[in-house]
Amino acid sequence: MTTSTASVAEITTTAIALLCRQIGPVNTARFLNQFTTGLGNYTQERDEMLGNATVDELLLEIKQRREQGK
């Protein structure tokens, strides 16, 4: 009996195709999403967006934006 081993890329491609056929592309994506951690650095991005603002400063900004929207 001879067997050939597939590369990890080939196994992944075959597995994704099987999942898509059996549970559909949306559920396949949802399933695969369980095994990814995402991209980027949330802490760094948050710090770049918010800077060193205090809670009081953020609350003031929220109140000002709400007043402008009226």
45, 30: one domain:
no
How much is the pTM?
Answer: 0.48
52, 69: one domain:
yes
Apex 16 CA angle, 14 and 21, nearest 5: 95
29, 18: one domain:
yes
12, 29: one domain:
yes
pLDDT at 31: 95
Domain count, the chain: 2
Q: Is the pLDDT of residue 1 over 90?
A: no
How many alpha carbons fall within 13 Å on the CB side of residue 35? 4
32, 46: one domain:
no
Q: Residue 13: what residue type?
A: T
pLDDT at 2: 63
Q: Is the pLDDT of residue 70 over 70?
A: no
The residue assigned the tokens 């003031």 is 60
Q: pLDDT by residue (tens digit) across 5-57?
A: 999 999 999 999 999 999 999 999 999 999 888 788 888 998 898 888 899 99
44, 34: one domain:
no
The range of the structural domain enclosing residue 14 comes to 1-39
29, 59: one domain:
no
